[in-house]
């Protein structure tokens, strides 16, 4: 089963900022304004566990869906 994927190397700083563009993150922040930043907590924990710094590169992979269509008008 081959699913289309994209891969790339990014710094941890870029990855943190990229996740903060997601609508799910924005919605979470709006619903929980008094809680600690969930992305910062998660990324900080990951970086500590893996001994990573902001400038360290990691390879990320995410599924990709491409929808093609045709407009007859």
Asked if residue 38 lies in contact with residue 25, where contact means CB atoms within 8 angstroms, the answer is yes
Q: List the domain boundaries for the chain.
A: 5-63
- In terms of pLDDT, which residue wins out, 5 or 38? 38
At 66 the pLDDT is 77
Least Cα distance to 43 among 64, 63, 14, 23 occurs for 14
User: What's the CA gap between 29 and 23, in Å, rounded?
Assistant: 10
User: What's the CA gap between 50 and 24, in Å, rounded?
Assistant: 25
What pTM was computed for the model? 0.76
Tens of pLDDT along 32-49? 999 999 999 999 999 999
At 6 the pLDDT is 85
């Amino acid at each position: 089963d081959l699913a289309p994927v994209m891969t790339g190397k990014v710094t941890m700083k870029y990855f943190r900022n990229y996740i903060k563009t997601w609508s799910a993150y924005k919605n979470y922040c709006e619903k929980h304004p008094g809680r600690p930043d969930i992305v910062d907590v998660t990324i900080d924990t990951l970086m500590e566990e893996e001994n990573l710094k902001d400038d360290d590169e990691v390879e990320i992979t995410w599924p990709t869906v491409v929808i093609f269509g045709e407009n007859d008008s």
